[in-house]
Amino acid sequence: MERPAWAPTGIDISVPSVSRIYDYYLGGSHNFEVDREAARKAMEFIPGLPKVMQANRAFMRRAVRFALDEGITQFLDIGSGIPTFGNVHEIAQSGAPEARVVYVDHDPVAVAHSKAVLEGNDLAGVVAADLRKPQDVLSSPEVTRLLDLDRPVALLLVAVLHFVEDSDDPRAAVAALRDALAPGSLLILTHAAYEGIPLSEDRAGGAVGVYRNIRNPLVMRTSEEIATFFDGFEMVAPGLVQMPMWRPESSPEQEDPYAFSGFAGVGRIA
């Protein structure tokens, strides 16, 4: 039997959380020893993981600015994790003070922390919901209060779809979100892949094993598979590319080799 929507999941901080592991990669201290232990194990296989995360953050920063340039001031960030230095609302609101941001995560600790961080910011809010249930996201009070779905929204699925297994039908979830958004809306997406990691697949697979062991499987997909998430979107130039290659602001040659692990792209609803 599936757990009813109104029955909460338990909180168990003895279990590593992907959002706190992510925070650790980024040099933060919003994490516990279990998280750091898992992160260190993963980094034994892929030492450059922090650089992958940094490239993710840098892409997101460029993409949010791109959205602002497009005139979009509404942001829906699903899988937002632990708020850290250079968050969507910081970037967006520094460019457009009226910008509205809704963060969504299914990790209750991340949500509680986001709430604390966003206290006093009337234009940003956080929703405890799961990407796999897009209707829960769309019908949440924060989305209703902060976003006008009749106008374009930038939907951020940054480093989150690779945590949704095919059996949970992530494409259907993306399609449901797409169908709820107005023309002109953007999908800002990054996804993990073996392509581009400067290591053998066997070696990188060790990190995947770490995530499997903490019951948060990491699903590596090929660029062709990742491209299908953009069904129904028009790709914004330069299309689906390795993260540093998406509209770089400084020469990609200077980037750390690990920054090329995984793909990024932006699509637009016609």
CB 23 within 8 A of CB 81: yes
Measure the CA–CA gap between 209 and 206, rounded to whole angstroms: 5
**Position among 97, 116, 150, 253 found at the interface with another protein (CB under 8 A):** 116
CB 164 within 8 A of CB 173: yes
**By the rule CB under 8 A, 124 interacts with another protein:** no
By CB under 8 A, how many residues form the interface with another protein? 38
Helix (H, G, I), strand (E, B) or coil at 190: strand
**By the rule CB under 8 A, 5 interacts with another protein:** no
How many alpha carbons fall within 13 Å on the CB side of residue 158?
A: 31
Least Å distance, CB 163 to another protein, is 19
**By the rule CB under 8 A, 50 interacts with another protein:** yes
**Position among 57, 89, 221, 268 found at the interface with another protein (CB under 8 A):** 57
CB 192 within 8 A of CB 160: no
Tally Cβ neighbours within 10 Å of residue 72: 21
CB 245 within 8 A of CB 196: no
**By the rule CB under 8 A, 10 interacts with another protein:** yes
**By the rule CB under 8 A, 13 interacts with another protein:** yes
Measure the CA–CA gap between 47 and 66, rounded to whole angstroms: 31
Smaller CB separation from another protein, 38 or 177: 38
Least Å distance, CB 39 to another protein, is 13
Least Å distance, CB 32 to another protein, is 7
**Position among 18, 21, 26, 241 found at the interface with another protein (CB under 8 A):** 26
String of b and e for 140-169 (b: at least 16 CB within 10 Å)? bebbeebbeeeebbbbbbbbbbbbbeeeee
Angle between helix 33-45 and helix 201-213 axes, rounded to 10 deg: 160
CB 69 within 8 A of CB 154: no
Smaller CB separation from another protein, 37 or 225: 37
- Which residues from 236-265 bind another protein, rule CB under 8 A? 249-250, 254, 256
**By the rule CB under 8 A, 15 interacts with another protein:** no
Smaller CB separation from another protein, 8 or 97: 8
- Which residues from 96-115 bind another protein, rule CB under 8 A? 108-113, 115
Smaller CB separation from another protein, 35 or 197: 35
164: amino acid identity, one letter: V
Binding region for another protein (CB under 8 A): 6-11, 13, 20, 25-32, 50, 53-54, 57-58, 60-61, 82, 85-86, 108-113, 115-116, 249-250, 254, 256
